[in-house]
Amino acid sequence: MPRPKKGPRLASSPAHERLMLANMATSLFQNGRITTTLPKAKRLRPLAERLITLAKRGDLHSRRRVMRVIRNKSVVHALFTVIAEQMEQREGGYTRIVKIAPRQGDNAAMAVIELVTEPVSPKKAAVKEAEAAVKVAEKVAEEVEETPVEAEAAAEETTEEVAE
């Protein structure tokens, strides 16, 4: 059984915290980025990523589950049409948290949480492995193309050179 966190929540009660995170998620999907405190950004990230994953499914049940959290229909529509389309190739990591300078008044740790909109690029290691596999396949194809007679002649030449 998961153990609840000790100490105070982000707000005065769990219900207030849920509402606050829902409002922050709405603002994030409306504007693409928001500036908030670091603990709030860290609590918002899993909620926002879960909502984007539901939006990528695109069915009615997912839309209704998202509507439980985000009450603004225009934001839900934008999430399902625009944002889900941008994140289609991405398998996760839809948001990015960047720490910024502390707040002037109370020195609270601040952060910017934003949607990652850059296109997904293939990993360089996977590309190198694919190129190596192509080279090996080309070498094997060249060896197969040699006729057995030519291979025997080449083998005889090498044995004669070794004997001398």
Q: What is the mean pLDDT of residues 62-78?
A: 96
Report pLDDT digits (tens) over 42-60. 999 999 999 999 999 999 9
Q: What is the mean pLDDT of residues 71-88?
A: 95
Confidence of residue 159 (pLDDT cuts 50, 70, 90): low
More confident residue, 150 or 103: 103
Structural tokens at position 49 = 């990523």
Confidence of residue 79 (pLDDT cuts 50, 70, 90): very high
Q: Which residue's structure tokens are 């190198």?
A: 128
Q: What is the mean pLDDT of the chain?
A: 85
Q: Which pLDDT belongs to residue 162?
A: 47
158: pLDDT strictly greater than 70 = no
Q: What is the mean pLDDT of residues 66-76?
A: 96
Report pLDDT digits (tens) over 104-140. 999 999 999 999 988 887 666 677 777 888 888 887 7
Q: What is the mean pLDDT of residues 60-77?
A: 96
Q: Which are the contacts of 90, defined by CB distance < 8 A and separation ≥ 6?
A: 116, 120
| 116 contacts 88 by C-beta, under 8 angstroms | no
Angle subtended by helix axes 60-69 and 38-57, to nearest 10 = 160
The region of weakest confidence among 21-35, 57-71, 130-144 is: 130-144
Rounded alpha-carbon distances, angstroms, from residue 154 to 16, 24, 118, 149, 157: 82, 73, 54, 9, 5
